Each structure stands twice: as structure tokens, then as C-alpha cells.
Amino acid sequence: MAHRLFPITALVLAFPLLTACGDDGGTRSEPARATGRAALAGTGYTSDQLRQALLAELPGYQRAGETDAGEYGTRKAIQNFEQLQRQVRVDNPRCRRAAAGPEIDRATPVAIATFTRGNGQTVTETLLAMDDETTEKHVKARVPAGCQTFRAQVGSQWSEHTVVERPPGTLGEGSRTVGVSTTTGASNAKTWYVVLRGRRYLATISLYGPAATRTEAEQIARLADEQARRILP
């Protein structure tokens, strides 16, 4: 069964649930070895290799829990996200999967790390093993016309969202950046979401919080790409 990368409509509601679990990824910086569960055919990297390629630390942030790695469809963070997605009601059904990109095989190797800091900001880094053709499709995905604003409901709580999509970027071997401003009652939060492609992997950075900025999200994405390039053979 296939799944889609985090749709913007649910992503902006999901950060309290997207806390990774699993073994500590450690701080190793030597080239990753092909250990652990075999990579999905055509992708090249195992989940253990991806775990080693995650950011071990992030200046100004603390690691929230341990890193998680394995098959995409079996990760707790992904399952929590899917559960939330089923609860989300969107006023425009066309926007439900806005900016989600092509489907992802649930057996795809993935590694996830989450960082937090005291001002309420959360960073989630995800590395997925993918062939180059698929990573290019994710980078080229775009928010559908008419979905730059939408309303979403979870339970009895409605929130309003405004989406800003930047022109194609040059991080990694190509990137895209999407920002969402969310208003729920009297509170406002921002989410910046960066997707970049590397050689046989896709990296995503999600930055959430009241003071989140595109500049910081892309700076973190650049650090993540540098780390992945340094570790993955």
C-alpha cells in the first residue's frame, strides 16, 4: 500500500504528534554502512544508513526523544500522523492533500529526528530512500490552485490557514519551500516546510512555531543536506 508525504492540510495540525521514537541515532560521523533491513529495490539506502545521516544536533535546539528508523508505514510518527489526517475535515476537499506530492510505498526506508527549543518551536527532519525520478517528482509538486487559503477542523475546533509557496529552490539537487500561517481562535502559528532531493534520498525539514521563518527552515535544510551528503556513500 502507498502513502503520501505529509499533506500541508494535516501537517500544520500534526506537530504535537510527530515525536519520533526508537533507538538513539548517536553522533557517529563516519560513512554509513549498509546494515539493517534491506533497502527497497531501486532506492539504495537502508533505514540504518539514513538514521546515521540525520542531524545529530541542531544549534539552539534540543533533541526531543530518540531517532526513529525503519519502514515508512510502520513508524509511530507516521501512524500518528495518519490517525490525525483521518480526523481532519477541510472546507475545500480539493485541498485535503495539498502539496503532498506523489505516493510513497509504505516499505520505503525512512529515518526521523525531532528537535525543540524553549520558545515553542519544533523541527522535524525526515530522510527517505528514493530513486532520483521519484525525488524529482516530490520537489516539483505544487499546491493546487485555489488552496492558498483553507479552513480545517479537528473535532469541534476550526482553524484558518494561508499558504505561501516559494519558487523552486537550489538546496541540494533541487528543493521546494512552502509556508503556512495558521490561526486558531486567538493564537497564530507558522509552519515552514522544505523538501530537497539528494542522490537517492529525499530530505524534508518541517519548522513549526509562532516565530518560525523561511530563512531558518532553509538554513536547517542546508545543514541536513550537508550532513546527509557527508555520511551517505
- CATH number of the domain to which 123 belongs: 3.40.1000.70
* Domain of residue 63, residue span: 2-22+32-231
Higher pLDDT, 114 or 143: 114
Quote the pLDDT of residue 100: 55
Q: How many domains are contained in the chain?
A: 1
pLDDT digits (tens, 9 = 90+) for 39-52: 554 558 999 999 99
| Angstrom distance (rounded) from CA 37 to CA 210 | 38
| Angstrom distance (rounded) from CA 93 to CA 90 | 6
Residue 217 has pLDDT above 90, yes or no: yes
Quote the pLDDT of residue 225: 97
Provide the percentage of residues in the chain whose pLDDT is more than 70.
76
In a domain, 46, yes or no: yes
pTM for the whole structure = 0.80
Quote the pLDDT of residue 13: 45
Residue 57 has pLDDT above 90, yes or no: yes
Shortest CA distance to 104 belongs to which of 70, 128, 140, 124?
Answer: 128
In the structure, what pLDDT confidence band is assigned to residue 23 with cuts at 50, 70 and 90?
Answer: very low
DSSP string, 10-36: HHHHHTTT----SS------SPPP--S
Quote the pLDDT of residue 16: 35
Report the pLDDT averaged over residues 129-144: 89
Quote the pLDDT of residue 101: 60
In a domain, 27, yes or no: no
**Mean pLDDT of all residues belonging to the chain:** 79
Q: Is 216 exposed, middle or buried (0-12, 13-18, 19+ CB in 10 A)?
A: middle
| Angstrom distance (rounded) from CA 206 to CA 10 | 13
143, 165 contact by CB (below 8 A): yes
Report the pLDDT averaged over residues 47-63: 96
Residue 7 has pLDDT above 70, yes or no: no
Identity of the residue numbered 117: R
Quote the pLDDT of residue 33: 41
